[in-house]
Amino acid sequence: MRILAIGDIVAPSGREYVYNNLGKIRRKYNIDFCIANGENAASANGITAEIADNLIDRGVDVITMGNHTFATHGAGTLLNENPRIIRPINYPSETEGEGYTVQDLGYTRIAVINALGRVNMTPMDCPFRAVEKALAELEGKADIIVADFHAETTSEKLAFGNYFDGKINIVFGTHTHVQTADERVLPGGTAYITDLGMTGVRDSILGVKKELIEKMYYTRKRVRFDKAEGEVYINGAVFDIDHESGKVNSIERLNFSKTEE
The answer to whether the beta carbons of residues 29 and 69 sit under 8 Å apart is no
The tens-digit pLDDT sequence of the chain (261 residues) is 999 999 999 999 999 999 999 999 999 999 999 999 999 999 879 999 999 999 999 999 999 999 999 999 999 999 999 999 999 999 999 999 999 999 999 999 999 999 999 999 989 999 999 999 999 999 999 999 999 999 999 999 999 999 999 999 999 999 999 999 999 999 999 999 999 999 999 988 888 888 988 989 899 988 888 888 899 999 999 999 999 999 999 999 999 997 666
The model carries a pTM of 0.95
Residue ranges of E strands in the chain: 2-6, 8-9, 33-37, 62-64, 85-86, 100-104, 109-116, 144-150, 170-174, 184-185, 191-193, 198-201, 232-241, 248-257
The answer to whether the beta carbons of residues 134 and 89 sit under 8 Å apart is yes
d(CA 113, CA 86): 8
Output the pLDDT for position 3. 98
Half-sphere exposure of residue 95, counting CA atoms within 13 Å on the CB side?
A: 17
Q: Give me the number of domains the chain comprises.
A: 1
Report residue 188 CA to chain centroid gap: 22
d(CA 168, CA 190): 6
Output the pLDDT for position 228. 83
DSSP string for 111-146 = EEEEEE--TTS---S-HHHHHHHHHHHHTTT-SEEE
* CATH assignment of the domain containing 140: 3.60.21.10
Output the pLDDT for position 198. 96
Of 258, 259, 260, 248, give the one whose Cα is nearest residue 5: 248
Q: What's the domain range around 114?
A: 2-260
Output the pLDDT for position 260. 67
Q: Is residue 68 annotated as a catalytic residue, yes or no?
A: yes
